[in-house]
Structures are given as structure tokens and as C-alpha cells.
Structure 1
Amino acid sequence: MNFLSFDLSMEQEFEIQKVKQEVQGMSREQALELLLEVSKTLMIKDNLIRDLMKRARI
């Protein structure tokens, strides 16, 4: 696996298609709630990575 590649793996592409199908059946409010939850999760992930990088420098 090339760790310098930012392309999605085949598994990730499959997961995107699954999410796309699920979202099509949601109301606008449900989709907005999902978007906010995913955004929050990505922010937490960013914070975790930042913290791990700081600790690795010590």
C-alpha cells in the first residue's frame, strides 16, 4: 500500500456508495444531522492526530 497516496481504497469507495444510498432515503433533517456528526468526528480525528504528533516529538 502506498501511504503517500490520497486516493480512496476499494473498500472506502464501496463504503462511500453504501452511505450515498442510505442518505438518499433520509429526510433533509436526518441528512443534516449526519453531516454535523461526521464533521464533529473529523474534527476529533484532527485533534487526536495533532496531539499524537506533538507527543511523538518529545
Structure 2
Amino acid sequence: MDSEAFQLTLEQEFQMRMMEESAHNMTREEILETLVQVSRLLMVKDNLIRNLLRRCLI
């Protein structure tokens, strides 16, 4: 697989920097809540991709 597929775009790099800066202003509880929400969204994304791949293969 192309190594560029694993690289962030310039816009994504900027978003990461913004997230890092905002995390410094969050409480531990806010960070944990955000982590749980992000984990859930990643799982939903995985499920959507898996479902789309199944539909393409049928």
C-alpha cells in the first residue's frame, strides 16, 4: 500500500494541532469524555466502511 495513504493532509495536521491546543485547556474529565466519544465514532466509522465493502462485494 502507498505510504502516502498513511499520511495526514495539511488540513488534518492543522486540525490535530488545534485539538492538541484545546486539550491543554480541558479538565481530565472532559478529556476522558472526549476520548470515549471519539472511540465510539471510530467504531461507527469502521462499521460503515465494513458495511459499504460488503455491499460492493455482493
- Same fold (TM > 0.5): yes
> Structure 2 unaligned runs (5+)?
none
Deviations 1:5-48 (A, max 9, x none): 21000000000000011110000000000000000000000000
SS in 1 for 2:6: coil
Higher helix proportion = 2
Give the ranges of 4+ consecutive aligned residues of structure 1 lying more than 3 Å apart after TM superposition: none
For this pair of structures, how many residues does the alignment match? 56
**TM-score (ref. length: structure 2):** 0.91
Structure 1: segments with no counterpart, 5+ residues: none
**Identical-pair percentage:** 45
User: For the aligned residues, what is the CA RMSD?
Assistant: 1.2
Give the SS at the match of 2:5. coil
